[in-house]
Structure 1
Amino acid sequence: MPDVKLFSATKSRYLAERISDYYGYPLGDVTVNTFADGEMQVVINESVRGTYTFFIASTFGPADNIMELLLLIDSAKRASAGYITAVIPYFGYARQDRKDKPRVPISAKLVANILQASGVNRIMTMDLHAEQIQERRVANEVASITVIGDVQGRDIILIDDIIDTAGTLCKAADALIEKGAKSVKAILTHPVLSGAAYDNINNSKITEVIVTDNMVSIEIQGNTRSELGKKGTRIDRNNGNVPAVLYGGGDVVHFTVTPASVKHLIYTPDFKIADLSIDGKAYKAILKSAQFHPVSDKLLHIDFLRLIDNTPIKVEVPLRFKGVSPGVKVGGKLIQQLRKIKIKTTPEKLVDELKADISKLELGQALRVREVIVPAGVEILNNAATPVALIEIPRALKAAAAAEAKAAAGA
């Protein structure tokens, strides 16, 4: 049977790593270079001749991601890959699946044709969008919603494929509550969450939104600050905005964001990259620091660090465990000594977490930094001897062991 090779596109690595772990195959080595004019060059750094080759690439923020996927497929085809599969959990342009007026493209069909022309043998996707017959005035907006059936006193769950601006979802929730529903939750496959989505959800009757992890992209809209200094800062905060600074790349950019747009970047244990759009100019960045009010804990200021291709950065990423410790199975307690690890890498090789294998840890044993496996191009900066986890022996087990030893000695 031919070998299987798994590769990840740049923006889907978080998902590809989970698929890789579950499947038991490591991710292949790919380099994606971006030139000053925005063009990309991809290089597959290992042989794929005759292999089953899978490219994992959600195409949210479609243009660059689709182009990267096409280049990856073409590279594999020219390298004599045996069978090429594009795994596209979120298929960009899927909503443009029909001609609803004169002189418009059927974009979903066009993208599918381009993928086929690039040399892909198979496409795997999930929950493709299919427009329902509904009255629409503009894109992303449903003009009217009618509740059919009795929802009085019931807990309602709304299920849909895509949540974009959340306008339709919030209108549906409002209509259900007006008809007497007790509560409304939503389960969605593809969390696009563009525009005022977060504000719409926060101001709606929806109590909880559950989404898949096939799109982890924090898109933040910012506006250049018109006035700096204490006065300008006071005005910005009074207007409900948070002053922010983007460092890196020579120029320092002063701008403002809304608290809602950054909450999923700040209030999370996960490491995430922000796609900043400041007055129409796009930047990729990571959170450098955040300042809060000492009493109210209100967000006061944010510093971002711009990601520049091939420029090394130092960041802290979460450390998570995989496997089950034999020591835990017999009653030991897993103690995590280190929750984040400091790494040095470039944006192209940046990972959102590291995993430590605890499947061989017995009672009383410790796992140290030196034993954490990292991908090529990633360097751990913590002291190699620092313990990251240990299996503690509970007092009850110690007492039982001591009693057994005493009994054995007496015999």
Structure 2
Amino acid sequence: MRENLTDEALLFALQGSRTLGQQVASELGIRLAEHEEREFEDGEHKARPLQSVRDRDVYVLHALHSDPGHSVNDRLCRLLFFLACVKDAGAARVTAVVPYLGYARKDRRTQPRDPVTLRYLAQLFEAMGIDRLLVLEPHNPAAFDNAFRVPTERLGMHRLFVPELAPRIAAGHPVVVCSPDVGGVKRAVDFREALADALEREVEDAFFEKIRAAGELTLGRLVGDVQDATVVLVDDLIATGSTLTHAARSCREAGARQVLAVAAHGAFARGAEGNLGNEAFDRVLITDSIWPVKIDRNRLGGKFEIVSAAPLFAGAIARLHGG
């Protein structure tokens, strides 16, 4: 459903995020606000709005992932500086809209003297004077909530994927929502509840116990019954895809009749194409929070789908603006 904003609201999308920004603006029935970004010979840059933001409700969209032209750090600096710029220019309220929040996975110490980078990231956003942060499916919701001292909004991926999956799930067979690790159980529970409501029938839970050592998956045990079931594997992001592939194979070995995988963020790394092309998967769905997609979709045999996050962000922005 198309949302509408009043004239007091402005939506900016920085370079590298304008494709999603244009889609969000279209859903809102507005045009992206005008701004300029300049590169200097010494590697520095400048970005500024080209229209007045004074006393306006301003939303700045930019995803924090790497792309061929910019590192995560470069994109982060550009976003931070622009947020501070519009605040200095008199904006009444500034909301950072971050589809993919880089560094969110480093939310605790796992070794002596480890950084807690998510907390440092929060301090940077707060120092820019923002009023609110809006993100899609952070890695650890509890850690995300605790890291920030400004209001935050978390958009759940189930709002995007459940409407896509529900019509495809055949009646007469059990349905199981499965987390590939213990840390994602709460995310899977939220997804299961939404899917059960959409299907108007019972949906079961399952999860995997796993141990990682030096980045390697060394052990995984399925907890739950997936015999003759449609299994929906739910994760926040896909990097190499090794965790999801391990989970999909294990579900097949345990008797699953169909395995669907969904993840909010396609943070694809080397090896992802080979893993996700595995015959254990029937479908793999992600959003466009990281764009362009860092994977050759043609090598995945048509089982790979992208669900746009634009309607979800547009709805959230409209509701925030409307109070």
Name the TM-score class by shorter chain. Answer: 0.5 to 0.7
Are 2:50 and 1:45 aligned? yes
Please give the alpha-carbon distance, in whole angstroms, between the structure 2 residues aligned to 1:210 and 1:263: 11
8 Å contact kept, 1:218–1:264: no
8 Å contact kept, 2:273–2:296: no
Equivalent of residue 9 in structure 2, options 1, 4, 10: 4
Q: Secondary structure at the match of 2:47?
A: strand
One-letter code aligned to 1:182:
R
For residues 311-342 of structure 1, give each alpha carbon's deviation from its aligned partner in whole angstroms, at most 9, with x where no partner exists: xxxxxxxxxxxxxxxxxxxxxxxxxxxxxxxx
Please give the alpha-carbon distance, in whole angstroms, between the structure 1 residues aligned to 2:245 and 2:279: 6
Structure 2 residues not aligned, in runs of 5+? 1-5, 67-71, 141-181, 184-208, 303-323
CA deviation after TM superposition for structure 1 residue 51, in Å: 0.7
For residues 157-212 of structure 1, give each alpha carbon's deviation from its aligned partner in whole angstroms, at most 9, with x where no partner exists: 11111111111000101111111111211011111112211121113511210111
Are 2:160 and 1:84 aligned? no
Are 2:283 and 1:181 aligned? no
Provide the identity percentage.
29
Query: What is the correspondence of 1:270-289 to structure 2 with a 5 Å cutoff?
Result: none
Match in the other structure for 1:144? 219
Match in the other structure for 1:33? 38
Q: Secondary structure at the match of 1:114?
A: helix
Match in the other structure for 1:60? 65
Please give the alpha-carbon distance, in whole angstroms, between the structure 2 residues aligned to 1:264 and 1:94: 30
RMSD: 2.2
Structure 1 ranges of 4+ moved more than 6 A: none
Please give the alpha-carbon distance, in whole angstroms, between the structure 1 residues aligned to 2:277 and 2:42: 39
Q: Secondary structure at the match of 1:206?
A: coil
Q: Secondary structure at the match of 1:157?
A: strand
Judging changes above 3 Å, is the alpha-carbon distance between structure 1 residues 72 and 177 closer, same or farther for their aligned structure 2 residues?
A: same
Are 2:20 and 1:15 aligned? yes
Greater RCO, 1 or 2 (C-alpha within 8 Å, sep 6+): 2
One-letter code aligned to 1:78:
D
Please give the alpha-carbon distance, in whole angstroms, between the structure 2 residues aligned to 1:46 and 1:142: 51
Query: What is the correspondence of 1:154-303 to structure 2 with a 5 Å cutoff?
Result: 154-219=229-294, 261-263=295-297
State the number of aligned residues.
Answer: 225
Match in the other structure for 1:275? none
One-letter code aligned to 1:123:
L
Please give the alpha-carbon distance, in whole angstroms, between the structure 1 residues aligned to 2:26 and 2:88: 28
Judging changes above 3 Å, is the alpha-carbon distance between structure 1 residues 63 and 264 closer, same or farther for their aligned structure 2 residues?
A: farther
Please give the alpha-carbon distance, in whole angstroms, between the structure 1 residues aligned to 2:230 and 2:112: 43
Judging changes above 3 Å, is the alpha-carbon distance between structure 1 residues 38 and 208 closer, same or farther for their aligned structure 2 residues?
A: farther
Structure 1 residues not aligned, in runs of 5+? 220-260, 269-411
- Name the one with the larger strand percent: 1
Please give the alpha-carbon distance, in whole angstroms, between the structure 2 residues aligned to 1:9 and 1:166: 29
Please give the alpha-carbon distance, in whole angstroms, between the structure 2 residues aligned to 1:60 and 1:16: 15
- Name the one with the larger helix percent: 2
8 Å contact kept, 2:266–2:293: no
